[in-house]
Amino acid sequence: MFTVLNKLKYRIKKEVQRIEELYDANPSNELYNAEIYGLNLALDHVLRAEAEEYTELDKWAEEYQKGKEQDELTTRNRARG
C-alpha cells in the first residue's frame, strides 16, 4: 500500500511541476493556478491517508509486541512450573 501511495505522491508532484511550467509560460491563464491548487489538495489527502496508515501500522505493531511479550512470560512461567 505504501508503494501505491508513494507512486501517487510522485505523480501528483510531477504533474504540479508540469503545470507550473505551463503557468510560468502563460501566467494570464488562471485555470493553471486552479489546477495546481486542486492537485495540491489531492496531494494533501494522500499525505493524510499515508499518515493514518502509518498510525494504524504502529498500533498493530504495539499490540503484536504486547501479545508476544505476554506469550513469552506465560511460556517462562510454565517452564518454572
Asked whether residue 14 carries a pLDDT value surpassing 80, the answer given is: yes
Q: Is the pTM of this model over 0.75?
A: no
Domain extent, residue 6, equals 2-80
Structural domains in the chain (count): 1
The CA distance from 6 to 46, in Å, is 9
Contact 19, 35 (CB under 8 A): yes
Mind listing the pLDDT tens digit for each residue in 20-75?
A: 999 999 999 999 999 999 999 999 999 999 999 999 999 999 998 888 778 777 77
